[in-house]
Amino acid sequence: MQSLDTDEILVGRNGSAGIIRLNRPKALNSLTLPMVRAITKALDDFAADTDVASVIVMGEGERGLCAGGDIRALYQSGRAESGDATTFWRDEFQLNHAIANYSKPYVALMDGITMGGGVGLSAHGSHRVVTERTRLAMPETGIGYFPDVGATWLLPRAPGETGTWMALTGLDIAASDAIHANLADHHVRSADLSKLVDAIGRLPRRASGADINAAIAALGEVPAPARLAANGELIDRLFAFDTVEEIVDALESEHGDFVQTTRSAVAMRSPTSLKLTLRMLRAGRNSANLAECLERELGACLQILHNPDFYEGIRAAVIDKDRNPAWSPARLAQVHDATIDRFFIPAKPPLFEKHDEKEPQP
């Protein structure tokens, strides 16, 4: 493989396939601003290269594609009011939008941990491959944040209330559930991914999306039954409400291991984040396109920097690592509508000048 290496992103070629590898394995390939910009440049370069038929995105190391954004850096930026967090979100969301509208087949190998910003790098792509090692999640309510990177567009378009369950609980899901949730398309064994990269690289320069699908299907396998699909009727019934309080009440009225796990997860999340997330999901369900959702998410990001739960959640998760955040306020009843309303102030300047995109359906 011919390569053109940078520090945290490795860019190269394998035949007709452009290769982008995230290269922070010790940090689970968590995204930094330079990485976002390097990926954006690589995609621009590959789009203009007539010898490149497709792009493959993968993670270095044995643990996963990407665990999300570098939340320690976001924490430090917010505390210092440096503006770096805002710049990161702007550039990251523009990258998510570019991936969704990319001119060539975009193949994401979602092997291992694929969370938060890693979902943004993969689930907007045209060809999304999971493996038996995939652990996918949008865990943001556990750090006083909310699912972003266009998740408020993707999750409402999962079957029934599957996306609502994912967003509020923050729990990870396996390959079959990712496919069920319309966040992935194909299942390939982890050991066969190098064969898949070579097979895609051998395709001609004018290879189509259908050609990519055929190459993946040749190595594809049927994953184990989806846990979320098996509990679909229950999820749809319990998470159909438009207030978190009603969802919690519904959970309290049910029994069983799945409900207990769900109820326990929701109880641990930031009350403010839960209410914000549900409001964002319902707004995303009625949105016209991904760009509209990303604009709304950016506005909420700017306000999240003034939210104490954001700093407390990150402190508990990665600074002190005590896993015991003290949410403020601590109870759902103490989070008023006016508090959530402030997160819907539009960002200035806006993320996009106009919303004239084609919207791929996940």
User: What are the residue numbers of the active site?
Assistant: 69, 117, 140, 148
Tokens standing for 262? 């769900």
Contacts 24+ apart (CB under 8 A), 209-213: 209/105, 209/126, 209/127, 212/54, 212/105, 212/107, 212/126, 212/127, 213/127, 213/186
